[in-house]
Amino acid sequence: MQSKDEKNFFDWLVEIRRRIHEWPELSYQEHRTASLISEELNNLGIPHRTGVAKTGIIAEIGHEGPCVALRADMDALPLKEETGLPFASKVPGVMHACGHDGHVAMLLGAARLLKAEPLSGRVRFIFQPAEENGAGALEMIKAGALNGVSAIFGGHIDRHFKVGEIAINEGLICAFTDTFTINIEGKGGHAAWPHEAIDAVVVGSLLVVNIQTIISREVNPAYPCVITVGKFEGGTAHNVIAERAYLEGTIRSTHPDVRKRIIDGLKRIARGVGDLHRAHVKLKIKEGYPPVINSPEETNIAREAAKLVVGSVGVLKQPHPSLGGEDFSFYLQKVPGCFVRFGAMKKGFEKAPAHSPKFNFDEQVLPIGAKFLAQVAKLALKRLVEKKDS
């Protein structure tokens, strides 16, 4: 049974999450969200800087000594919400479908918990814009978010695990996230005389099918990876052979050599299919987020913190690396740290994945995430002080 203080804390976290959920904002547009965060930090008496990397916020508590950072992302997705929740999005075509509203509530919760405790150093709270689209982590780093930071921790709500479970893995846990576009230029014509034309839709269709053989026949199946074509545009009418077509997709890989092999294969197939059908095929590849790689020592600290919050039975491992992307990876290229998964499976929403218009999570995860972040910061500071004194 919850104590009065625990219930008040939970209710406060839920209220914050739902206020953010009702008014979601896309990458670098999180003005209302930032205002809410600033209001709550002011209420807690925590000094902070607003307008970092456009809409981000950096707050800090503690005094002299080492500094540990905690991070939450703030942005929503361009989706029309279909959850039917009483606090559903009031912004047409925009929705928190990935749990970032919960992440903000958790980090504010950690700030509230840590503000009430003596610290052996400093804790920095990074409220980051544009994780979904815009590499907000990079912009926060450029703005000094990691200056003086010795370690960083964060996490993500995950419907694959139950409430009370925290998944923690050392090493690579999220994939490379490269994207590509293919512009096809053929020769238009009448549908009844295909021999006089070069059908860009046929060329595009062959590309969609053939690039899948890179994964199935050219990559070691021991390494998780995928190529997905998410957009295919071509044609203007039922009786006109398309002169142009356009493809857009993503490459997800978990090893640098595999990534290179996929990209090389994509270039070769695009060139070959174009030559085969006398079409001009232009491939562009855009480098995405690097993989999230948790450092060994910080992963152990995260496990210790998780055990104190959910017990040993609640500390799990991801069965395999996720092929999702996460720009937390940019922080980990600068300082050691660990990114975890907070179990938040909700009854009735089991089949609604992240980035779905029906996505929702169990709000009982909010105090768990807040307590974990507070605990991991304290343990990391303790470890840093011990290192310094040894």
307-324 per-position pLDDT tens digit: 999 999 999 999 888 999
Is the pLDDT reported for residue 348 higher than 90?
no
DSSP designation for 290 = P
More confident residue, 129 or 116: 129
Whose CA is closest to 272, among 203, 374, 341, 347?
203
pLDDT of residue 320: 86
E strand or H helix at 381: helix 365-389
Q: Of the ranges 59-63, 192-196, 385-389, which one carries the lowest mean pLDDT score?
A: 385-389
pLDDT of residue 3: 85
DSSP designation for 195 = G
Domains of the chain with bracketed CATH: 4-174+291-389 (3.40.630.10), 176-289 (3.30.70.360)
pLDDT of residue 188: 97
Helix (H, G, I), strand (E, B) or coil at 172: strand
CA pair distance 213, 210, nearest whole angstrom: 6
Task: Write the DSSP string, 201-229.
Answer: HHHHHHHHHHTHHHHHHHS-TTS-EEEEE
Is the pLDDT reported for residue 330 higher than 80?
yes
CA pair distance 24, 94, nearest whole angstrom: 6
Q: Residues of the chain with pLDDT > 70: what percent? A: 99
| Residue 59 bridge partners (DSSP) | 48, 125
CA pair distance 234, 245, nearest whole angstrom: 4
| Phi, psi torsion values for 73, nearest 5 degrees | -95, 155
Whose CA is closest to 114, among 352, 313, 381?
381
The answer to whether 98 is a known ligand-binding residue is yes
pLDDT confidence tier of residue 1, bands split at 50, 70 and 90: low
The answer to whether 96 is a known ligand-binding residue is no
Which of the residues are catalytic? 289, 363
Is the pLDDT reported for residue 168 higher than 70?
yes
DSSP designation for 348 = T
Is residue 292 within 8 Å of 172, Cβ to Cβ?
yes
Average pLDDT over residues 115-129: 94
Q: For residue range 221-255, what is the model confidence (pLDDT) as tens digits?
A: 999 999 999 999 999 999 999 999 999 999 999 99
Question: Which pTM was predicted?
Answer: 0.92
Average pLDDT over residues 138-163: 97
pLDDT of residue 6: 93
The answer to whether 132 is a known ligand-binding residue is yes
Is residue 258 within 8 Å of 220, Cβ to Cβ?
yes
Q: For residue range 261-309, what is the model confidence (pLDDT) as tens digits?
A: 999 999 999 999 999 999 999 999 999 999 999 999 999 999 999 999 9
Is the pLDDT reported for residue 107 higher than 90?
yes
Please, what is the average pLDDT of the chain? 96
The answer to whether 100 is a known ligand-binding residue is yes
Is the pLDDT reported for residue 389 higher than 80?
no
pLDDT of residue 388: 79
CA pair distance 126, 121, nearest whole angstrom: 16
The answer to whether 160 is a known ligand-binding residue is no
